[in-house]
Amino acid sequence: MKAMILAAGRGERMRPLTDTTPKPLLRIGGQTMIERHVHALARIGITGLVINYAHLGEQIEKALGDGHAYGVEISYSPETGGALETGGGIFNALALLGNDPFLVVNSDIWTDFAFQQLPSQPDGLAHLVMVDNPEHHPEGDFSLSAGLLSPKGPAMLTFSGIGVYRPELFSECTAGAFPLAPLLRRAMEAGQVSGEHYRGIWFDIGTPERLDAVNRVVINLQ
């Protein structure tokens, strides 16, 4: 299985930190956010990585190189005309990801989730990891029931930014910027998206305040 780390976001809510540094290179506990994911994926034997980038993305490529120092092989999917959003970014990288299901993780989350427990062959078109709704997103994203996700329902949870996708999810897409959520909702309505509820440590690092909060947690864990 290959994995893609999404790293093309501008990080507007992180300004001014992201005016000179791309968000994935911000540090938590002395390590950049994206490096933590690279190490976590390498530990479970996923050595073929794809990273997309846009804003200041050359810094990411310079920092990680070809991945040799981490025991992986990194390919890059630059979005030179501007960020393509999550759906468009993944679609743009499909040629690098191959024909098999692949793992995708947002670079701007911090979690102790064990990637090895993800299915390498999801039953449907996608499998998503869901978490409890954080204070900044109380309404959640999708409903989980009996292992399947739905766009609406009584048990709304938040998408963690971790998932496994089959390339077929994007079969009707065309190049350009587009979000991932509408694709997932259509697949959910067809019963093609499974999910799991993760109750461990998870942070969406969207603001400087949340970055500081995660750093305090990491210091306490060390």
Rounded Cα–Cα distance for residues 190 and 211 (Å): 37
Domains in the chain: boundaries:
3-221
Element housing 37 (H / E): helix 33-43
What's the CATH architecture for 3-221? Alpha-Beta Complex (3.90)
Nearest 10 degrees: Cα torsion 116, 122, 123, 127: 90
58-71 tens-digit pLDDT: 999 999 999 999 99
What average pLDDT does range 133-158 have in this prediction? 94
Global confidence as pTM: 0.94
24-41 tens-digit pLDDT: 999 888 889 999 999 999
Instruction: Residue 217: name the closest of 199, 200, 194 by CA.
Output: 200
Rounded Cα–Cα distance for residues 120 and 118 (Å): 6
According to the model, what pLDDT value does residue 219 have?
61
Query: Sign (positive/negative) of CA torsion 47, 205, 181, 150?
Result: positive
Show the tokens assigned to 96. 């690098």
Summary mean pLDDT of the chain: 93
